[in-house]
Amino acid sequence: MTTTTSMLETYPAEIKLGRGRLAATIDVLISCAEACTACADACLSEGSVAGLVKCVRATTDCADICGTTARVLSRNTGYDADTSRALLEACAVTCGSCGDECWARARMHEHCRICAEC
């Protein structure tokens, strides 16, 4: 059982979404944000940073958007489905761009391969 699941189980009011599905979504978003942050940091440590600028931008954007979305989904008081939907759509687009950038570099950088698989 994840911390997210435990926290959602203790939420005293009704949650309009399935708690298990919500917890899994939040956990995936957090994992994605962590992988993207680590990949961006690893890119900045490579000798050829100039060739990785677009990848660093894509991974930091993805980390920020997925991390923010996880935090918003963790708050259920006054839930707004429109906001959540928009954030999740932004995650999907950003993750796609990030994945494309990382796959393009996956053969040269193991950290990009790992990030792209997220």
What is the pLDDT at residue 51?
94
| CA pair distance 31, 87, nearest whole angstrom | 16
Secondary structure (3-state) at 11: coil
Digit-coded pLDDT (tens) for 18-48:
999 999 999 999 999 999 999 999 999 999 8
Digit-coded pLDDT (tens) for 69-91:
999 999 988 889 999 999 999 99
Q: How far apart are the first and last CA of the chain?
A: 21
Secondary structure (3-state) at 17: coil
Q: pTM to 2 decimals?
A: 0.92
| CA pair distance 75, 95, nearest whole angstrom | 22
Count the alpha carbons within 13 Å of 89 in the hemisphere toward its beta carbon: 6
| CA pair distance 26, 74, nearest whole angstrom | 7
Pair 64, 95: CB distance under 8 Å: no
Give the chain's domains with CATH numbers: 3-117 (1.20.1270)
